Structure 1
């Protein structure tokens, strides 16, 4: 029974964290409801398969996979080009398939060459802590809009949605602190079921769309064969390098949480993880879905529920993949009210601030580290408030970085820290040279 409930809770967390991106992208692209449902179906398959591959053969951590925010951004950029009439929908979708195939090949190359271990050295506690704070800041806007019901039934704050959503959030905050072990361990599952039933009772839950068939195998290249375009290659390489940085930072966070309860856990093989990431990203192109990455929010979920064992997660990942073959089940799951999903996973994501502060506690650089943190957070969080249209005229490479505060802040942190380290080493070499000449 314990294994079953733990598996269901993992399933709920994966589901709640995976619905927003494909729904938002499908609507941005102007896809009809039946194609959005098919897109969701293929995304579920990719999420489940990617998680299984990584947990069994890659990093081997119980770590949720989900649509990458960077790919989300790229899809939205293409949606803008399509809406403006400068790119046909079919061409844009086929170019996105090609982009994921190229990025997958880059991950395979980096993993095969064994370069990931060297890159990982850049991700110090200073960088990881900064990454987590900017990540929460970036997500906080979406969470608050979701809780206030903005974009759910109307484009304004909706009291009918906000009151029950914040009620669910209150339940999600109180259950992990209950004196009853059952309520603490399964707080995410209980909160989601209670919220879903509440929204149904109030008549504000989405209707379940009719499924075209009871069983359906997700197809490959549903958008057509991949299409080459000169702009796809540099964009794909940049996205791959940025996703690699995201991958390393996310795994480092989850690895530390798991290590607390499993101190004998073997270290993560990052080169092997990159190989699996290459396979799963390429599968995103093959299945016409969104490329997936390990989600650092898993660490917050583990801290909230205490679930760190692999077996329940493996079963949940297999369940998500299996669901994709049954459109009626997919239709029911996609009827989950998004405000409830935001309320349920609010606490796991908010707890990542605590993880960031623990990373900072291990620092000993003093004023130097405070300076780097301040500059990185100002630039990273500040860029989140720059309107997308204000940088639309910039070259694609610069626009991709400037449009993502998380990546920009993390890159600034890495560069500043490495510059300070180089400067300090140079000063030491200078002193040694002076001493030697004397």
Structure 2
């Protein structure tokens, strides 16, 4: 789950509690006056425009997660670009297969943030071991779905279990986020500048999230990445140059494949636990759209959708890239556009497949500064904390805005607490008790959100 999310109450099963959508809507979702239904294809021009919108929403998730993992694995920018190329290809292929033969719903796919936790934990064991475990995790998920055992396991995913998983994903990624926000050792950019820039931009994003509506709110991360990158280039004491190397306009990416399988039990167990969270996210994403559209054949769609997610992760293990999952982004987009046609994702899949063979375009998109990627992850993981709190306390008593007001200060407080002492010593002595104190930063953030951004009328 790598988007701004909102959990809705359940209808029956425990897992139904985790019906997650991109943003809050006042309308009853199953009473929409749709312009195009699930199996209706819009005219060509509208089809392309809808597809372009889905594409614009998909690309940031690929860039954010892809850049984080690629930098972990490779020092060479060329290898990093190839990694993201493969991720574009896999995402486009999975989306195409899911829309036509899998769940057959207007759901976009993308890299699973929860698998990033397994990659971080298994980094010392080597790349072949990591992606062998992802391959096996995908194989297990495929078997559970095809055999029908997955439906029996749903009873294990109680609200408290799901809430804990959502919170743990956010909290366990905070050290990685902190490393992205702080400049690399020896950088000409002071740590104080990056921290202040990050705090300022993420608070502005939350203010914009409160003010904006419709498609502007849905695409907030896109505009924040673009405008944040521009602002950082203008304000930074030493902005990084865009490195496109000598990449050809068109090139393949069939390198660094997982041909030599390497199995390590500890790493495998770690990833199997991560796949529990991935399956919860996948199931809830499919079910959220199914309930929204009042579909009667959801058991079959869920089985096919989760099966293809398992197969996609097997393929990702072979390609040597992070696996994918269905994102719970669609309900908010369907409400905004009044279009539930699954065929609008076909141009999106085609666009992703085309971009996967264009390393120059990938290099430009991959040149977003690490601090901007870290800020986007703070924003998204704060939303994840909000979703986890709603799961724990119920949507009737605890709103999504309540979760955000609590989630961001907690995330900022934890991140600041991880800042190394050597970095703090580079800051002015008078600012260390403020900027270097996670408690103080968290209190300032919650006061800002509670009394300015989300102030009750």
Q: TM-score, normalised by structure 1?
A: 0.65
Q: In proportion to residue count, which structure has more helix?
A: 1
1:286 paired to 2:318: yes
CA distance 1:284–1:254, change in 2 (3 Å): closer
Selected match of 1:204 from 236, 239, 242? 239
1:252 CA drift (Å): 4.7
Question: How many residues are matched?
Answer: 345
CA contact (8 A) 1:281 1:292 kept: yes
Structure 2: gaps spanning 5 or more residues:
1-45, 396-413, 419-457
1:155 CA drift (Å): 11
How do residues 33-432 of structure 1 correspond to structure 2 at under 5 angstroms? Answer: 33-59=77-103, 60=105, 62-67=107-112, 69-70=114-115, 73-74=118-119, 77=122, 79-81=123-125, 93-94=127-128, 96=130, 98-146=132-180, 148-151=181-184, 154=187, 158-178=191-211, 181=214, 183-202=216-235, 204-219=239-254, 222-223=255-256, 226-229=259-262, 231-232=263-264, 234=265, 238=269, 241-254=272-285, 258=289, 261-264=292-295, 267=298, 269-294=301-326, 298=329, 315-362=347-394
Give distance in 2, aligned partners of 1:306 and 1:265: 24
Cα-to-partner distance string for 1:89-116 (whole Å, 9 max, x where unaligned): xxx5455554444443333322322211
Cα-to-partner distance string for 1:106-161 (whole Å, 9 max, x where unaligned): 33322322211111221122221222122222234433443x43448749962333
Give distance in 2, aligned partners of 1:120 and 1:281: 20
Give distance in 2, aligned partners of 1:153 and 1:336: 20
Give distance in 2, aligned partners of 1:71 and 1:169: 22
CA contact (8 A) 1:16 1:345 kept: no
CA contact (8 A) 1:54 1:276 kept: yes
1:58 CA drift (Å): 3.6
Give distance in 2, aligned partners of 1:156 and 1:265: 56
Report the aligned-residue RMSD.
Answer: 4.0
Structure 1: gaps spanning 5 or more residues:
82-91, 364-381, 387-438
SS in 1 for 2:256: coil
Give distance in 2, aligned partners of 1:207 and 1:132: 35
SS in 2 for 1:65: strand
Q: In the alignment, what sits opposite 2:64?
A: 17
CA distance 1:112–1:152, change in 2 (3 Å): farther
SS in 1 for 2:111: strand
